[in-house]
Structure 1
Amino acid sequence: MAHIESTGNIPKKMKAVVNYAPGDFRLEEVDVPEIGPEEVLIKVGGCGICAGDVKTFHGAARIWGGDGQPAYVKPPVIPGHEFYGKVVALGEGASKKYGLKLGDWATSEQIIPCGICRYCLRGEYWMCEVHNIYGYQKHDAEGGFAEYMRFPATARNHKLPEGFPLHMAPYIEPLGCAIHAVERADIQLDDVVVIAGIGPLGFGMLQTARLKNPKLLIAIDAKEKRLNLAKELGADLVMNPLKEDVVAKVKDLTDGYGCDVYIHASGNPKGVHQGMNMIRKLGRYVEFSVFNEPTLLDWSIIGDVKEIEIRGAHLSPYTYPAAIRFIQEGKVKAEDIITHEFPLVEFEKGMELAEKGDESIKVVLVP
């Protein structure tokens, strides 16, 4: 039998939110995960509610397999992929593999790569063909809406350094994604950059883009509270598309040319049209959204009209160390982004608040 190092006093049962179907999330008592070689068990300290969790709850086709899309979620499964926790058990070889010891605080990247597909073998693990992500596939990747959580043997785990502000740890995953999107944008010093959709991801993109020091950094959102915070966190200008013609305004600011970089993170199809009209010829458009509905577009603008460079951005490859460092050093401020915490038993209230987004930005569940 493989050796397991443990703190002891780990219960057999735990409370967890279980996703059975769209609209059917239940708080239940389930078994605490068992671990094997090179696996890790954490006692969850907190887990953020992602927009993807809300869309899963409402049965988005992109996630549940409607409208010709492949099914992504495989219930019943415990949701949650923005988590952190204290290491309470280590399978044989896990301590050496991950540099972890009992009592450490740790997190794990949202994707659990298979390690053997074409993409993993090339180091492109975030596009793993199997593509297990915590919170969507039962057994392979149970998530963090629970008291305990297992990190499988192929997971990419990260120790949180001494002195890390733990209450901000649920923001590591969104920030890692934001950093990747900004890196994909290849921002230059003379660029006019637009971030469209200032939610948790957008705030991370905004602050990371600020570190690139572009000529002009613009934030676009329909919520005034978020725009006010965007000013404090580095935006040179903020715009509300419900109150002004943002395309015309950006063109006026750029002698009629348009912005050099447009990063879209709202998930709203209108943001795609807005970006295509706002961006200059030969500009760079970065898409980081999960859409609830198809987006229709005359593709002539991409090639024949503007020759736009379109780049997707998916997950957070190789960015967790930077995200952890940015938060710890205060280069990215998360205090005002994590706005609410709820106990796990009040997950429904947390989901509702996260969905509306009027009073909240990032909502965290605490077991």
Structure 2
Amino acid sequence: MQHLTTRPSAATSMCEVHNILGFQREVAEGGMAEYMRVPARARLHRIPETLTRAQSAFIEPLACGIHAVNRGDIQLDDTVVIAGAGPIGLAMVQVAHLKTPKKLIVIDMLDARLELAQKFGADVVLNPARDDIAAEVRGLTGGYGCDVYIEATGAPSGVRQGLEIIRKLGRFVEFSVFGKETSVDWSIIGDRKELEVRGAHLSPHTFPVAIDLLSRGLVTTDGIVTHELPLAQFEEGFRMATAAESIKVLLIP
């Protein structure tokens, strides 16, 4: 089995093309087809035969999670908050746990996902539907706030929440793609807290790391891949993928 991305040059600037073939709008041709056209400069990542179908399908979201966690530059004495425990958020939890921060906090609206986050290494899980997130994080950090906040909710409230609970000089990693514009008080970023705001775009250079972590059993898909359906049931699969009953759904050719 193989996974496809475009080939980066030796440089690591944002000027490079970094496309996931069959995924992004610009290179979507083939994503739902029996065959796809692979550019001459594409890079193929060989997947070990020891990986299961579920693990292989999880490589791309895991690679995204690895990149976002790396952007957070997590240190041993950091309190880290990951907001959003979807498939990529749960990948982030596992990777952040491998960084051994002082405390790892995960926020989500669904308790089933928070339970998984705890299994994956979260020290504290919080649900905004019942928990006062700001008060809880301040209580856990002596009133300072978290050192690193990784936003993976895709909701404007997740951004505002992060700006409230992060400490001065903290590192705010924005990973989500939003359905609409998000407005915040920029004076929090500059005048009040002097934050480092870092974007995280997909998975540059992290596919090999994702494959290695899965191969060594350091990251799991258990509980994340909740359903596997035959391709003929794709309509049901897409419905389930947007429902609370599932996390990640696989369609099997």
Q: Is the 8 A contact 1:168 1:335 kept in 2?
A: no
Long gaps (5+) in structure 1: 1-104
Number of the residue aligned with 1:156:
43
Closer/same/farther in 2, CA of residues 339 and 252 from structure 1, 3 Å limit: same
Amino acid at match of 1:107: H
Q: For this pair of structures, how many residues does the alignment match?
A: 253
Structure 1 or 2: more helix by fraction: 2
Number of the residue aligned with 1:108:
4
Q: Is the 8 A contact 1:136 1:143 kept in 2?
A: no
Amino acid at match of 2:100: N
How many angstroms apart in 1 are the aligned matches of 2:96 and 2:58?
A: 17
Q: CA deviation at 1:146?
A: 3.2
Closer/same/farther in 2, CA of residues 259 and 123 from structure 1, 3 Å limit: closer
Q: TM-score, normalised by structure 1?
A: 0.65
Cα RMSD (Å): 1.9
Structure 1 or 2: more strand by fraction: 1
Number of the residue aligned with 1:144:
31
Q: Structure 1 runs of 4+ off > 6 angstroms? A: none
Matched, 1:353 2:240: yes
Closer/same/farther in 2, CA of residues 165 and 129 from structure 1, 3 Å limit: closer
Amino acid at match of 2:11: R
- Matching of residues 174-213 of structure 1 within 5 Å: 174-213=61-100
Amino acid at match of 1:365: L
How many angstroms apart in 1 are the aligned matches of 2:172 and 2:11?
A: 26
Q: TM-score, normalised by structure 2?
A: 0.93
Q: Is the 8 A contact 1:180 1:313 kept in 2?
A: yes
Amino acid at match of 1:265: A
Matched, 1:336 2:232: no
How many angstroms apart in 1 are the aligned matches of 2:197 and 2:93?
A: 19
How many angstroms apart in 1 are the aligned matches of 2:249 and 2:200?
A: 23
Q: Is the 8 A contact 1:145 1:365 kept in 2?
A: no
Q: CA deviation at 1:277?
A: 0.2
Long gaps (5+) in structure 2: none
How many angstroms apart in 1 are the aligned matches of 2:20 and 2:219?
A: 29
Number of the residue aligned with 2:23:
135
Number of the residue aligned with 1:365:
251
How many angstroms apart in 2 are the aligned matches of 1:275 and 1:122?
A: 32
Matched, 1:166 2:53: yes
Q: CA deviation at 1:276?
A: 0.1
Q: CA deviation at 1:132?
A: 7.2
Number of the residue aligned with 1:272:
159
Question: What's the CA shift string for 1:249-295, capped at 9, x where partnerless?
Answer: 00111111000000010100000000000000000000000101111
Number of the residue aligned with 2:202:
315
